[in-house]
Chains A and B, each alone.
Chain A
C-alpha cells in the first residue's frame, strides 16, 4: 500500500473515531457533570445549582441519628471541613458505610429539597487510607 493511501485511510479512521468519541464525550460532559462543592460553597450558591450535586464535608460530632428502627438510613448534619458553623442537614436512606461516624469525612451525592434538607442518593466515607492515620482512634 502506498504511503499516501495508507495515511488517508488512517486519517479517515481517526476522524471517524474522533467524531464518535467527541460526541460521546460531549454528551457525557453536558449530561453527567454535577457540581462538586464543599458545604460552605453549597450554602453560598443559588438553590437551582443544588438539584444534583456532590457535597464534601464532615459528619457533625452531634446530631447524627439513625432513622428510628432502621439501620439502613440516617439523618445527620454535614459540616464544612474548615468552618463547622456552615452545615447542611442530610437525610440518607441507604446502607450506611462501616466507617461512618461523627467526625468522619464523607461525600454525599443528591439534591437539596425545598425544606432545606439534602436528600442523598449515595453516601461515601473516606477510605481508611494507609497513607494517613487521622481516621484512627490513636
Chain B
C-alpha cells in the first residue's frame, strides 16, 4: 500500500512537471491548444495527494508502525485525536499537508467561475506557476522527505512528546500551512496577469482571489496566535514570545501579507500601486517558503530543533528563484500606475503603513540572520538578543497602530473627511496617554501603543454609530479585525513591560507575596493518571483579604519519557491581572518551589487575537470575488 502511496506522489510530480511544461510550450508558441489538458491535470494531482494523505491517516489510525513516520510520532497509548493530527507532526507529513493545501486551493480556484473569466494566456501562466509550486513539493516528498518509508515494524512507537499534546500545538502548524498555502493561488494569478499583459481585459487578480486572501490571512494569524498561546500555557516560563528565529520566521509572511492587504485596498479603491501589490503578494508566498527554510535548514541556531537540514538546499533554490521572478515581474511588468496622493491622504498613509510593516519584516529578517551575516567580517559570529527586538521592533509596531488609528478619518485623495472625528481621535489618544502616565504606566513605547489602541477603539465606536455599517459584513469584518489589533496591542503593551514574577519556596501553610497578592500553599497532592504520575501544589491566592481562587500547578513524569519532568501551569484568569503559577519542583525538605507571576491585561491579547482570526471572515460575506471595485469602475466605466 505504501508503494502505491509513494507512486501517487511520484505521479503527482510527473503531472505537475508535464502540466507546467505544456503550459510553457503553449505560451512560447503563442497558442493554447493544450490548455484543456493542462487544466485537467490538476484534478489528478489533487486526487493523488488526497489519496496519499488518506493512506497516511489510515496508517496513523491503525498504529501501522511498519511506516517509519507512524512509529516516529505515535505510540499505542496515544489518543486517536493526537494520532490523526500526527499527520503534520513530522517534517514529511507537514510537507504533504502543505502540498495538499496548495493543491486543494488550486482545484477550488479552477472549479470556480473566476477561472473562466480569464483569458487563455493568463490561465496558461497561472498553471505554469501553480504547477511549479506543486512540483517543488512533490520533488521534496519523493526524495528528501518521503512519509512512506517502510521498516520492520517495532512493537510500539516513540510517542508524541507530552509538551506537544496540547490543542494549541495541534492546530498551530496546520493553520500556518493553510495560511502559507492559501497565498499560493493569489500569487500565481498576480504573476500570470502581469506576464500575460491581459490585465486590462480581466477582473483584477485580487478580486478573483478575494476568498483565498480572506481565508489565508486569518489562518496565518491564528497559527501564530495559537503558537504564542501554547508557549504561554505549556512551557511554563511565563512568556509568549521570545524572538527566537523560528518564531520570527512566521512573522515575515504575516507582516508582508498584512502590508499587502492594506495596499490592495488602495488599488481596489483607486487603481494605484498595481505593481507594488504583485510584488508584495508574491513576496508573501516566497517569505512563507523562506520561513520554512529558516525552520527546517538549521541555518541559524534556535531553541526549536526543527529539521535535519535535508530540505535546506532545495528550499534555498526555490526561494531565490521565487524572489527573482517576483522582483523581475514587479519591476518590468506593465506600465507604472497613477501617482499616489500625499502622506496626508488615506492612500498615502496606507502606503506609509505598508512601508513600516515591510521595514519591520526586513529588520526582523536581518536580525534573525545576523549570526550568519556577521560571519562575513568576523570569525566570531554575533547575534541579537530579545532586547534588540523589543527596542527596535516594538516602537515601529506602535507607529503602525497610530497610523491605523488615523486612516479612517482621511480622504483617499487627501484631507480630513470628518474634522471633528479627527480632532476627537487626537484628544482621545492624548487623554488616554495622560491617564496612563498618571496611573504610573510610563514606559514610552507601551504608552504610545496603548494610547493608539484607545484611538482604534474610539474609531470603532464612532464608525459603529452609523447604522448602515451593520449592513456591510465587509466593513464589520475589517472593523472587528482592527478592534482585535487594539486589544492585542493593549495586551502586549501591559503584559510585556509590567509583568512581575517571584520564585517562592513554600512549606505547607506558608505564604509568599508578589505585589498586592499573597500565595499560600494549602497542600501537595500526588497520584497517577493514565500515562503519567503527577505531583500538584494547591495554592490559594488572595488579594488583601479577598480570596481570588486556587491554582494547582503540576509536575508530571510520563511513562514514555523516562525521568523527564513536565510542568503543567495553572492560572487564575482575569481581565486585569492574571495570576500564573508554574511548579518548579520540590526541595529536600518537602517544600515546593513555585513561580508565581502577575500578568496584567494578558488575556486581552488572546481575546484580541481571537477577534483578529475570526472577524475578518465576515468579509467573505461582502462583495463577490469577481465583482469590480470602485477603482475599476473609475478606470473602466463599462465594467
How far does the Cβ of A17 sit from chain B's closest Cβ, in whole Å? Answer: 7
The residues of B that contact A49 with a CB separation of less than 8 Å are: 380
How far does the Cβ of A25 sit from chain B's closest Cβ, in whole Å? Answer: 6
Given contacts A126-B302, A128-B163, 17 further A-B contacts (CB under 8 A): A3-B339, A6-B340, A10-B351, A10-B352, A32-B388, A35-B381, A70-B587, A95-B595, A98-B566, A101-B563, A105-B305, A125-B303, A127-B303, A130-B173, A135-B161, A136-B161, A137-B560
Known: A14-B355, A21-B359. A127 touches B380 (CB 8 A): no
Q: Does A96 make an interface contact (CB < 8 A)?
A: yes
Known: A1-B342, A17-B359, A95-B595. A132 touches B237 (CB 8 A): no
From B352, B363, B383, B561, A33 is in contact (CB under 8 Å) with B383
Convert B80-104 into 0s and 1s, putting 1 for each residue whose CB lies closer than 8 angstroms to a CB of A.
Answer: 0000000011110010000000000
The residues of B that contact A68 with a CB separation of less than 8 Å are: 588
Known: A54-B383, A130-B89. A136 touches B585 (CB 8 A): no
Known: A1-B414, A49-B380, A135-B161. A127 touches B387 (CB 8 A): no
The residues of A that contact B567 with a CB separation of less than 8 Å are: 98
Cross-chain pairs A/B with CB under 8 angstroms, 26 sampled: A1-B341, A1-B342, A9-B342, A10-B348, A14-B355, A21-B396, A24-B395, A25-B363, A28-B388, A33-B382, A33-B383, A34-B384, A34-B385, A35-B383, A36-B382, A71-B593, A98-B163, A98-B236, A99-B163, A101-B563, A105-B305, A126-B304, A126-B305, A128-B163, A129-B305, A131-B307
The residues of A that contact B304 with a CB separation of less than 8 Å are: 126-127, 129
A37 to B593, Cβ gap below 8 A? no
- Residues of B316-364 at the interface with A, using a CB-CB cut-off of 8 Å, are 339-345, 348, 351-352, 355-356, 359, 363
Convert B284-301 into 0s and 1s, putting 1 for each residue whose CB lies closer than 8 angstroms to a CB of A.
Answer: 000000000001100001
A95 to B584, Cβ gap below 8 A? yes
Q: Does B263 make an interface contact (CB < 8 A)?
A: no
B370 to A33, Cβ gap below 8 A? yes
The residues of B that contact A87 with a CB separation of less than 8 Å are: none
B414 to A107, Cβ gap below 8 A? no
Interface residues in B, total, Cβ within 8 A: 78
A36 to B388, Cβ gap below 8 A? no
B380 to A132, Cβ gap below 8 A? no
Residues of A within 8 A of B (CB): 1-3, 5-7, 9-10, 13-14, 17, 21, 24-25, 27-29, 32-37, 41, 45, 49, 54, 56, 68-72, 94-99, 101, 105, 107, 109, 124-138
The residues of B that contact A109 with a CB separation of less than 8 Å are: 385
The residues of B that contact A45 with a CB separation of less than 8 Å are: 380
Q: Does B484 make an interface contact (CB < 8 A)?
A: no
The residues of A that contact B469 with a CB separation of less than 8 Å are: none
Q: Does B232 make an interface contact (CB < 8 A)?
A: no
A137 to B383, Cβ gap below 8 A? no
CA distance A2 to B356 in the complex (A): 24
- Residues of B542-593 at the interface with A, using a CB-CB cut-off of 8 Å, are 560-567, 582, 584-589, 593
How far does the Cβ of B549 sit from chain A's closest Cβ, in whole Å? Answer: 23
The residues of A that contact B408 with a CB separation of less than 8 Å are: none
CA distance A98 to B162 in the complex (A): 11
Known: A3-B339, A131-B90. A36 touches B381 (CB 8 A): yes
How far does the Cβ of A26 sit from chain B's closest Cβ, in whole Å? Answer: 10
A69 to B90, Cβ gap below 8 A? no
Q: Does B39 make an interface contact (CB < 8 A)?
A: no
Known: A127-B303, A128-B163. A136 touches B158 (CB 8 A): yes
The residues of B that contact A3 with a CB separation of less than 8 Å are: 339
Convert B360-388 into 0s and 1s, putting 1 for each residue whose CB lies closer than 8 angstroms to a CB of A.
Answer: 00010000001100100000111111011
The residues of B that contact A132 with a CB separation of less than 8 Å are: 305-308
The residues of A that contact B505 with a CB separation of less than 8 Å are: 70
From B384, B396, B582, A32 is in contact (CB under 8 Å) with B384
How far does the Cβ of A74 sit from chain B's closest Cβ, in whole Å? Answer: 11
B305 to A127, Cβ gap below 8 A? yes
CA distance A68 to B306 in the complex (A): 34
How far does the Cβ of B343 sit from chain A's closest Cβ, in whole Å? Answer: 5
CA distance A56 to B340 in the complex (A): 49
- Residues of B156-176 at the interface with A, using a CB-CB cut-off of 8 Å, are 158-159, 161, 163-164, 173
CA distance A80 to B313 in the complex (A): 26
B237 to A97, Cβ gap below 8 A? yes
B392 to A107, Cβ gap below 8 A? no
Residue of A with least CB distance to B343: A13
CA distance A109 to B295 in the complex (A): 22
CA distance A124 to B598 in the complex (A): 22
A133 to B158, Cβ gap below 8 A? yes
The residues of B that contact A98 with a CB separation of less than 8 Å are: 163, 235-236, 564-567
Known: A7-B339, A10-B340, A126-B303. A99 touches B564 (CB 8 A): yes
Q: Does B72 make an interface contact (CB < 8 A)?
A: yes
CA distance A95 to B384 in the complex (A): 23
The residues of B that contact A24 with a CB separation of less than 8 Å are: 391-392, 395-396
Known: A101-B564, A107-B303. A13 touches B352 (CB 8 A): yes
CA distance A5 to B414 in the complex (A): 13
The residues of A that contact B352 with a CB separation of less than 8 Å are: 10, 13, 17
CA distance A105 to B341 in the complex (A): 54
Known: A24-B392, A28-B384, A105-B305. A131 touches B339 (CB 8 A): no
Residue of A with least CB distance to B585: A71
The residues of B that contact A32 with a CB separation of less than 8 Å are: 384-385, 387-388, 391
Known: A21-B363, A131-B94, A131-B307. A136 touches B159 (CB 8 A): yes
A130 to B339, Cβ gap below 8 A? no
Known: A98-B163, A105-B305. A36 touches B383 (CB 8 A): yes
Q: Does B180 make an interface contact (CB < 8 A)?
A: no
How far does the Cβ of A82 sit from chain B's closest Cβ, in whole Å? Answer: 14
Convert B130-167 into 0s and 1s, putting 1 for each residue whose CB lies closer than 8 angstroms to a CB of A.
Answer: 00000000000000000000000000001101011000
B388 to A33, Cβ gap below 8 A? yes
CA distance A95 to B303 in the complex (A): 16
Residue of A with least CB distance to B582: A95
Q: Does B73 make an interface contact (CB < 8 A)?
A: yes
B90 to A130, Cβ gap below 8 A? yes
Residue of B with least CB distance to A36: B383
Residue of A with least CB distance to B562: A137
The residues of B that contact A99 with a CB separation of less than 8 Å are: 163, 564
From A9, A27, A28, A107, B301 is in contact (CB under 8 Å) with A107
A5 to B342, Cβ gap below 8 A? yes
